[in-house]
Amino acid sequence: MADQIVIFDTTLRDGEQSPGISLNMQEKLEIAKQLEKLGVDVMEAGFPISSKGDFEGVRAIARQIRKPVITALARAVQKDIDRAWEAVEEAAKSRIHTFIATSDIHMKYKLRMEPEEVIKRAADMVAYAKSLCPQVEFSPEDGSRTRPEFLYQILETVIRAGADVLNIPDTVGYSTPDEFGALIRGIRKNVKGIDNVVLSVHCHNDLGLAVANSLAAIENGARQLECTVNGLGERAGNAALEELVMALRTRKDFYNFHTNIETEQIYRTSSLISSLTGVHIQPNKAVVGANAFAHESGIHQHGIMTNRETYEIMTPESIGLKKSQMVLGKHSGRHAFEERLQELGFHQLSSEEVNEAFQKFKDLADKKKYVMDSDIEALISTELVQIPETLQLEYFHITSGNSLISTSTVRIAREGQVVEEAACGDGPIDAIFHAVERATGMEITLKDYRIRAITSGKDALGEGTVTIEKNKRIYVGRGISTDIIEASAKAYINAINKMIYDMSEYPNGDMVIEAI
């Protein structure tokens, strides 16, 4: 029988460390619920010591998500471990993941500790974590650049101290598949007690080798893969969950491993996380990119029509995509709409959520001839994660042209009061953003702005994504409309609403701590 590979998802921890990503608690919970549906075995929910918001997010996930092991990251420091345990102690299955750097360069320049001190600290903190939590994972940060003899020594020490999982990180994405495979093979051969623990790997993608290194690791004895959806993570990101899982499934003849992942949930999970983080997926991204199952070459098209296996090594259905889309319009009824929601995987919507989504669907159907699956998914995604709408856009007007100064007037409702303001700008989007700022009385730093068509055609639904910064905190807003200016304004106001909500919840701000 094929061995199981444990899928350890760190989208909510390492993924959120990606530049420009900041999720509020509701967004984290929605992602956690979808990851549970996806079937991940372990969910690293955050780094509790890093901020009050991260702590509350991890604790909320531990209380509500019951199937996966919920783990929290902690440096090999007692206060970190205490905070991590406080966050996950109510989980059905809990784990503390603690780490300390072990490469010569990190010990000398970052920790400023001698190797003997690092070993003692690791052993003491693993033992302390084990006294609190039934499962403890240990990571030697920058493990791939650590002297093998020292790595073996510290791993043996933490096994004796009670570690259940040993994770070997390629923290800076420096390793190559042959090299990393040999490292894992060396650990299996030289570390006493290694057969009594789970050997894990956590690979970064700086050289584009994270997935290849991870697969090389399981060929040499690793049985847990740490990864993120869409390959999110610091710098160039992490090993992509969807690529690892589909490689193991598609090439089971070669690897002979299996996972517990419900692969039909991959596309939905990828789309949700892309939407909530504001990080769009490149069209040629493996498995989940828009072009992953597209064929333009005539030779390819002919082969596909004759036998799909000529140019497709996996089916769209295997990741949750449908071959053909059902087209709905303004005459479609509620029953057809609800049936389509079920087919698209929205099984857990309440009656109230379905009612709100159906009304938005009817409003959209009045504006465009046909409503596609992607339109419906976009509508639902905006409904799933709700924060208080402190600010609401009631009206906007734009005057613009190639020989005119762009001007905008907006009417914003806030807690029963209505404010109307006008402003000029370098183009209609700039003008409406300035008008919103004047109406709210807030000074906001715009970090990023993007607009894209969700579907094709002249009546396509447009999605605006706005990233703003306030008090060194990042907020990502999203808005959709058939009018790209309205979508942009909605996205800007959505980001501001998130900022207002965050400031009311955590007025003192957050502390940022580096992790593996």
**Do 309 and 330 fall within a single domain?**
no
Query: What b/e string do you get for 483-499 counting C-beta neighbours within 10 Å, with b at 16 or more?
Result: ebbbbbbbbbbbbbbbb
**What interhelical angle do 428-440 and 484-505 show, nearest 10?**
30
SS (H, E, C) 162-180: CCCEEEEEECCCCCCHHHH
Is residue 296 very low, low, confident or very high in pLDDT (cuts 50, 70, 90)? very low
- Is position 98 within any domain? yes
Higher pLDDT, 184 or 472: 184
The secondary structure of 189-242 as a DSSP string is HHSTTGGGSEEEEEEB-TTS-HHHHHHHHHHTT--EEEEBGGG--STT-B-BHH
Please count the structural domains in the chain: 4
**Do 148 and 52 fall within a single domain?**
yes
- Domain span holding position 433: 391-505
- Predicted local distance difference test score (pLDDT) of residue 299: 42
CA pair distance 167, 130, nearest whole angstrom: 16
Mind listing the pLDDT tens digit for each residue in 410-449? 999 988 899 999 999 999 999 999 999 999 998 889 999 9
Higher pLDDT, 251 or 295: 251
3-4 and 198-203 as β-strands: parallel, antiparallel, unpaired? unpaired
Q: In this model, does residue 327 exceed pLDDT 70?
A: no
**Do 50 and 146 fall within a single domain?**
yes
Element (H, E) at 423: strand 417-425
CA pair distance 357, 341, nearest whole angstrom: 10
**Do 86 and 234 fall within a single domain?**
yes
Asked if 55 and 20 count as a contact pair (C-beta separation under 8 A), the reply is no
Backbone angles phi, psi at 515, to 5 degrees: -135, 180
**Do 329 and 373 fall within a single domain?**
yes
Which of the given ranges, 368-377, 427-436, 447-456, 501-510, has the highest pLDDT on average? 427-436
**Do 77 and 154 fall within a single domain?**
yes
Asked if 164 and 131 count as a contact pair (C-beta separation under 8 A), the reply is no
Higher pLDDT, 306 or 31: 31
**Paired tokens of 166:** 């040993």
**Do 21 and 107 fall within a single domain?**
yes
Mind listing the pLDDT tens digit for each residue in 22-57? 898 989 999 999 999 999 999 999 999 999 999 999
**Do 347 and 304 fall within a single domain?**
no
Which residues are CB-neighbours of 298 under 8 A, at least 6 positions away? none
Asked if 148 and 107 count as a contact pair (C-beta separation under 8 A), the reply is no
pLDDT (average), residues 152-179: 98
- Coil, strand or helix at 417: strand
Model-level pTM? 0.83
Looking at the chain, the whole-number percentage of residues with pLDDT higher than 90 is 66
pLDDT (average), residues 395-402: 94
Q: In this model, does residue 153 exceed pLDDT 90?
A: yes
- Is position 286 within any domain? no
Domain of 490, CATH number, reads: 3.30.160.270
- Predicted local distance difference test score (pLDDT) of residue 338: 82
**Paired tokens of 416:** 């029963």
**Paired tokens of 393:** 């856009």
**Do 24 and 80 fall within a single domain?**
yes
Q: In this model, does residue 307 exceed pLDDT 60?
A: no
- Is position 309 within any domain? yes
Which residues are CB-neighbours of 225 under 8 A, at least 6 positions away? 5, 6, 7, 8, 200, 201, 214, 217, 218, 239, 244
Higher pLDDT, 276 or 507: 276
* Of 54-63, 93-102, 249-258, 350-359, the least confident: 350-359
**Do 205 and 300 fall within a single domain?**
no
**Do 368 and 400 fall within a single domain?**
no
Q: In this model, does residue 364 exceed pLDDT 60?
A: yes
- Is position 17 within any domain? yes
CA pair distance 203, 239, nearest whole angstrom: 6
Domain of 146, CATH number, reads: 3.20.20.70
CA pair distance 67, 245, nearest whole angstrom: 19
State the sign of the Cα–Cα–Cα–Cα dihedral 267, 4, 138, 146. negative
- Is position 236 within any domain? yes
Specify the amino acid at residue 475.
Y
Q: Which residues pair with 75 in a beta bridge?
A: 99
- Is position 398 within any domain? yes
**Do 479 and 365 fall within a single domain?**
no
**Paired tokens of 14:** 């390492």
Is residue 259 very low, low, confident or very high in pLDDT (cuts 50, 70, 90)? very high
- Is position 510 within any domain? no
Q: In this model, does residue 324 exceed pLDDT 50?
A: no
- Coil, strand or helix at 73: strand
CA pair distance 392, 489, nearest whole angstrom: 10
* Of 209-213, 238-242, 246-250, 382-386, the least confident: 382-386
Q: In this model, does residue 386 exceed pLDDT 70?
A: no
- Is position 461 within any domain? yes
